[in-house]
Amino acid sequence: MTRKDWRIGIAGLGTVGGGLVKFLDERPGFAPAGGNAIVTGICARSRRPALSAIPWFDDPVELALSDTNDIFIELIGGADGPAKAAVEAALSVGKPVVTANKALIAHHGASLAAVAEAQGVPLLFEAAVMGGTPAVKILREAMVGDDIEIVAGILNGTCNYILSEMESTGAAFEDVLSEAQRLGYAEADPTMDIGGFDAAHKITILAALAFGCAPSFASAEVEGLQAIETLDIRLAKDLGYRIKLIASAARSEAGVSIRVHPALTPLDHPLARVGGVLNALFIEGRRVGRIFVQGAGAGAGPTAAAVAADIADVMTGAVRPVFQAPAPALRFVAPVDGAQAVGRAYVRLLVRDEPGVIASITETLAEAGVSIDSFLQKPIAGVGGVPIVLTTHLASESVLTDAVNRIAALPSMLEAPRLIRIARI
């Protein structure tokens, strides 16, 4: 057993940093293999009187380089700027790094992994994905004996909360978002969450772990929640689905596709049952089959526990590749052309109540090469016109888009058709 004192330097005292300081205070001498974990340096925007006994650093790079700490914890956030400079500095002097920074790893994971592995030190980031619920460790370590084919999850608690509330209250997206902001579940600028970018950072990291490719945020196709209406949520349920923001990464002969978009998820699938701010991940491997993990995706307690678990991993002396393969062997994956992706779709139309409308729609779909799986015409009070929803059989996205564009041009359309993908899980 390693029995020594581990000196911890913490940069950033936001939600996670505050939670970590609280954790190390509640668990004095946290070091599962013996020894002690002691905070010997802090860098944060404003000093905290309660922590005045701990040496304070104004510059995170200075803290990262200081030989007064053995492990550098980066909780500043942001893909570039001081977070990146400090992590690079720590790794360059052979210091283990633990971070909760998903943007940093999604954008610069490959180059940081190269530095960490050249120095033979760990770079760990369990807290970057699904907070305290293990996801990174499962893919990096537990699944290393499998060939993974798909990972798909609900990775953003804010979006899942909004969708759950829209379903249970019937309130509109904007109203639920305002309420979520009031409750602190959504940021004042919610773009990162509801635009799908936060989930895209996370699935980019998971894809690298699952498939041995370099994290490539630029390859992710991202569509947010903004266009989802409560009417879609109700109609999807009538068809046996719940709308979720699904982040997925799949391997095929064409390469690796990374996508975040709202998707109709079958009601009997475990991901459809994930409610509120919970996160969940579904992994399908060739040997292990289907694994499903669900838990808290954020919050000071869970995320600090994940950082603590990474600190414990550093203490064990384990050295393994940061992603599924050593950095020089990480493949840079060209994005798969989304237009060629094959899937099923839900299409909602609002049409004038006049003879021949349905015939014109079904003929247009047939001409475009799209075949219909289910068709529902449902009068809804207060809606001028007749709402129609249909689901399609498998078709490529380019064919689906072409079909929807043709339908949009029909004279009986009262508004632009809405297309939502059906999840392939």
- CA 242 – CA 263 distance, rounded (Å): 8
Does residue 293 bind a second copy (CB under 8 A)? yes
Residue of 299, 270, 269 lying closest to 158 (CA atoms): 299
Does residue 18 bind a second copy (CB under 8 A)? no
Does the active-site annotation cover 202? yes
Residue of 113, 23, 62, 14 lying closest to 307 (CA atoms): 23
Nearer to a second copy, 2 or 377 (CB): 2
117 Cβ contact list (under 8 Å, min separation 6): 321, 322, 326, 327
Nearer to a second copy, 325 or 410 (CB): 325
Q: Which residue has the tokens 């603590």?
A: 308
Does residue 291 bind a second copy (CB under 8 A)? yes
Does residue 172 bind a second copy (CB under 8 A)? no
By CB under 8 A, which span of 47-55, 134-142, 201-209, 410-418 interacts with a second copy? 134-142
Beta strands at 418-422 and 255-266: parallel, antiparallel or unpaired: parallel
Does residue 38 bind a second copy (CB under 8 A)? no
Which of 171, 309, 358, 414 binds a second copy (CB under 8 A)? It is 309
351 Cβ contact list (under 8 Å, min separation 6): 357, 361, 385, 386, 388, 412, 413, 414
Nearer to a second copy, 318 or 366 (CB): 318
Nearer to a second copy, 2 or 191 (CB): 2
Using alpha carbons, list the distances in angstroms from residue 46 to 42, 56, 235, 327: 11, 10, 50, 37
Residue of 202, 215, 218 lying closest to 158 (CA atoms): 202
Nearer to a second copy, 17 or 321 (CB): 321
Using alpha carbons, list the distances in angstroms from residue 293 to 94, 331, 397: 34, 27, 30
By CB under 8 A, which span of 150-158, 197-205, 306-314, 337-345 interacts with a second copy? 306-314
- CA 208 – CA 199 distance, rounded (Å): 14
Q: Which of 84, 95, 202, 244 is catalytic?
A: 202
Does residue 143 bind a second copy (CB under 8 A)? yes
Quote the least distance from Cβ 26 to a second copy, whole Å. 9
Query: What is the DSSP code (8-state) at residue 141?
Result: I
Nearer to a second copy, 240 or 335 (CB): 240
Quote the least distance from Cβ 418 to a second copy, whole Å. 31
Which of 7, 234, 237, 273 binds a second copy (CB under 8 A)? It is 273
Quote the least distance from Cβ 22 to a second copy, whole Å. 10
Strand partners, 296: 278
Which of 117, 198, 232, 397 binds a second copy (CB under 8 A)? It is 117
- CA 55 – CA 85 distance, rounded (Å): 21
**Mind telling me the catalytic residues?**
202
Please report, as ranges, the residues that interact with a second copy according to CB under 8 A.
1-2, 23, 27, 30, 32-34, 117, 120, 126, 131-134, 137-138, 141-146, 270, 273, 285-296, 299, 301-302, 304-309, 311-313, 315-321, 324-326
